[in-house]
Amino acid sequence: MKTINNPIFHFFLAALTVVCLPLFLRSGVLASEILIFGLAVAACNLLLGFTGLLSFGQGIFFGVGSYVAGILLTRYQIPVPLMLLLSVVLGALIAVAVGWLSIRRQGVYFVMLTLAFSQFFFFLAYSFSGLTGGDNGILDVPRPVIAGFDFTNLWSYYWFVAVIFLAVFALMLRTTQSTFGRTLSAIRENEARASAVGFPVRAFKIAAFAISGAVTALAGALHAMLIGVAPLSSIEYHTSEIILIMTIIGGSGNLFASLLGAGTYMLLADVLSTIWPRWLLLLGVALIVVALFMQRGLWGLIETLVSHITATSKRTPNAATERPLHRQADGGKA
């Protein structure tokens, strides 16, 4: 299991996905959306899988990023890199505020608070229609032209997204491997002990929120440029829900699982929606199956398969003694 749960291997898988999507998909929108939601889902996973925080507020950050792109690009002609930077900063700031208030409560009450914030920000966006365009959203959000490179074509925009995706994905992998990431895991495993051992748990949770909000807002901004609109639906509760569902489908143990979850959801939605307009029903069934039979998500399924395969191929007389030795050898890296 150590071999397939190695961060460098996960980065390789992500890079492979980036290269393969254009080969197998005809729609540049779908391919770009997979990467964009891959980011948002990885950010959600940082909270759910690594810190143990089930946040229904991810749509807030996604919507904020989307509006930052819409407003700054259509009304102020701010250069795209600066706009992306501002969306990241604003996403982080709002996530700090939402996180700071929500983590005051635990468990169900925490979840309820994030849900309440999600509703609050939706009505805020809906009410301030002068700024957000209300129901119509902000139209004609342009794709970038940076230093003579034109990314307005769909597939060239895909590569623009791909580079950002890989850079951010690498940074997030690094984050999960850092002392910070390990401390988040410790908080997820045993919050009381993490605190007793000396960690200011709240500060760590807020920092996790900040990173999650920053990355999700970045995804929102990229999405607005992709579809050319900053719609009201981006900040709707439904966006939070989709991001969470993708996170759970993929599995919450590692970040590549998030890309897997986003990809699977988007592809299923794409295929099913052409077959049957009531496809969301089937998605509901798929989710029930995941919740009942594959609680570790698709990645958990892959892990199980790989361990079956390696177990059968390694069935040697001294297999029993091999295991503890193997563990011991891992000690230094763990």
Binding stretches for another protein (CB under 8 A): 174-175, 177-183, 185-186, 189-190, 192-201, 203-204, 207, 211, 327-334
Q: How far is the CB of 9 from another protein (least distance, A)?
A: 18
Measured between alpha carbons, how far is 144 from 82 in angstroms, rounded to an integer? Answer: 12
Query: Of 26 and 323, which CB lies nearer to another protein in the complex structure?
Result: 323
Comparing CB distances to another protein, the nearer of 148 and 332 is 332
Q: Least distance to another protein from the beta carbon of 176, Å?
A: 9
Min separation Cβ 129 and another protein, Å: 37
Report, in Å, the least distance between residue 308 CB and another protein. Answer: 21
CA dihedral 57, 62, 63, 67 (to 10 degrees): 150
The HSE-up count of residue 46 (CA atoms within 13 Å, CB side) is 30
CA distance to 82, 184, 296, 322, per residue, from 191 (Å): 38, 9, 21, 34
- How many residues in total does the chain contain? 334
Cβ proximity to another protein: between 194 and 225 the closer is 194
| 77 vs 179, beta carbon nearer another protein | 179
- Token couple for 313: 């191929």
Sign of CA dihedral 67, 71, 74, 79: negative
Q: Which is nearer to another protein, 172 or 235 (CB)?
A: 172
Residues 302 and 319: their CA atoms lie apart, in Å, by 22
Nearest one of 261, 263, 250, 239 to 300, comparing CA atoms: 250
The nearest distance, CB 178 to another protein, in angstroms, is 5
Residues with Cβ within 8 Å of residue 237, at least 6 apart in sequence: 56, 59, 115, 118, 119, 122
Element holding 145 (H helix, E strand): strand 145-146
Give whichever of 178 and 310 is closer to another protein, judged by the CB atom: 178
Q: How far is the CB of 210 from another protein (least distance, A)?
A: 10
Q: Tell me how far, at minimum, the Cβ of 93 lies from another protein, in Å.
A: 17
Burial of 5 from C-beta contacts in 10 A (0-12 / 13-18 / 19+)? middle
- Backbone conformation region of residue 137, classed left if phi is above 0, alpha if psi is from -120 to 50, else beta: left
Closer by beta carbon to another protein, 146 or else 203 = 203
